[in-house]
Amino acid sequence: MDCDLTGKTALVSGSGRGMGRASAEELARNGADVVINDIDEAVAEETAADIRDLGVDAIGVPADVSDEAEVAAMVETATDELGSVDVLVNNAGVGDAGPFLDEEYDGTFELNLDVHLYGALNCTREVVDGMVEQGYGKVINFTSIHTKNGVGMSPAYDVAKYSLLGLTKSLALELGREGIRVNAVAPGWANTRLTEGFSDAVTEQILDNNPLGRFAEPEEVADVVAFLAAPASDYVNGHELRVDGGQVPIDSWRLDS
């Protein structure tokens, strides 16, 4: 299976930590030079430095993906330093969502759509011309267990991730004609700072509904991202690939609220 990414440049949004970081590391292990974006400058720089130890070029570029101007500047820096982007992974995300009936969470629809949908759109817009020019590219969007059937008590997150799935399907149809494959990876719950914050009751409910009985390691999600980025998956387009251990969605992850 050809997973070689030598000579390719990958940009991974929100890759200062968690599944984004693990994905950037795996892409680098397969030979790609990587652009480590994060809204948090310190973790972006730190991750880039660690990845350079793997023997590839890596730069940390802080930017808020929901800000068009910041994304444009980020892609300009990336292109100047590492060449045009061949692989874009839209991973940056926020976990801030709560019940529809709780007014405290009214503003979370805007936040979730800004980061997950518009963040992915901004990044895709900025890299797409280069991909069209070379007639080849890979865009991988992070959807979620939330696009399996919704997950209760987090409508803003559900809506944002379903909209990103819609963008994936639609752009796959249009951009496939240009040689650009657009797919989604849909993780379930993984060992990241989000799940670290879950109460025992929430963790138990999730694991009771997971055939494998455990959370994913970020590296297990990263392996699938690397596959979707690689030549080995060149005939995969418009697909949402689930990496959730067969997780059954739960109807409330806010048992502790």
* Cα separation, 200 vs 66, whole angstroms: 33
Minimum separation from the CB atom of position 43 to ligand ADP (A)? 6
Question: Closer to ligand ADP at the Cβ: 26 or 237?
Answer: 26
Minimum separation from the CB atom of position 68 to ligand ADP (A)? 12
* Cα separation, 36 vs 47, whole angstroms: 7
CA distances from 102 to 98, 107, 134, 254 (A): 7, 11, 48, 12
| Catalytic residue check, 162 | no
Minimum separation from the CB atom of position 13 to ligand ADP (A)? 6
Question: Closer to ligand ADP at the Cβ: 44 or 171?
Answer: 44
Contact 91, 19 (CB under 8 A): yes
* Cα separation, 251 vs 204, whole angstroms: 13
Please identify which of the residues 118, 157, 162, 235 carries the catalytic annotation. 157
Question: Closer to ligand ADP at the Cβ: 164 or 237?
Answer: 164
| Beta bridge partners of residue 36, listed in sequence order | 12, 60
Question: Closer to ligand ADP at the Cβ: 19 or 224?
Answer: 19
Residue of minimal CB distance from ligand ADP?
18
* Cα separation, 149 vs 85, whole angstroms: 33
Burial class for 8, CB neighbours closer than 10 Å (0-12, 13-18, 19+): buried
| Beta bridge partners of residue 180, listed in sequence order | 137
Minimum separation from the CB atom of position 201 to ligand ADP (A)? 20
Question: Closer to ligand ADP at the Cβ: 115 or 184?
Answer: 115
CA distances from 209 to 82, 98, 188, 205, 244 (A): 43, 21, 11, 6, 11
Give the binding site for ligand ADP (CB under 6 A).
13-14, 16-20, 37-40, 43, 64-66, 92-94, 115, 119, 192-194
Minimum separation from the CB atom of position 62 to ligand ADP (A)? 8
Catalytic residues, by residue number, are 157
